[in-house]
Structure 1
Amino acid sequence: MGLISLLWGIVAMVWMIVALIPLLGWGNWFLIPFAAVGAIIAAIGILFTGSGHRGRAKAGLVLNGIVIIVGIVRLGIGGGVI
């Protein structure tokens, strides 16, 4: 679960960088739910993994959390949220 959430977070981060380009901000509408699913997978990974092997899941949770926050801020700045 940790590896899946980490890879999910990396894909979401790349997608976020692309969505920062002007006129591609509409990608944030799809990015936020995508990253939310990654965060849920990471939370499940943290919950069911032993205490010594939670590093990947925690990194995936942090990456997906950052993507969600930046996506929401980007939609707010760009006028995508009314």
Structure 2
Amino acid sequence: MGLISLLWGIVAMAWMVVALIPLLGWGNWLLIPFAAVGAIIAAIGILFTRTENRGRAKAGLWLNGVVIVVGIVRLSLGGGIL
């Protein structure tokens, strides 16, 4: 679960960089739910993994969390959230 969430976070982060380009901000509407699923996978990975093996899941949770926050801020600045 940890590796999946980490890879999911890396893909979401790459997608976030593309969605920061002007006129491609509509990608944030799809990015936020995508990253939320990655955060859920990471949370499940943290719950069901031994303490010493939680590093990847924690990194995936942080990556997906940052992507969600940046996506929401980008939508609010660009007028995407009414």
Q: TM-score range by the shorter chain?
A: over 0.9
Question: Aligned pair count?
Answer: 82
Residue in 1 aligned with 2:80? 80
Cα-to-partner distance string for 1:20-61 (whole Å, 9 max, x where unaligned): 000000000000000000000000000000000000000000
SS at match of 1:24: coil
In the superposition, the TM-score normalised over structure 2's length comes to 1.00
- Structure 2 residue 56 is the aligned partner of structure 1 residue 29: no
Q: State the shift of 1:13 in Å.
A: 0.0
Q: What is the TM-score with the length of structure 1 in the denominator?
A: 1.00
Residue of structure 2 equivalent to 1:15: 15
**Which segments of structure 1 move beyond 6 Å, counting only runs of 4 or more?**
none
Unaligned runs of 5+ in 1: none
Aligned-pair identity (%):
83
Q: Once superposed, what is the RMSD of the aligned Cα atoms?
A: 0.1
1:81 positional shift? 0.3
Residue 54 of structure 1 corresponds to which residue in structure 2? 54
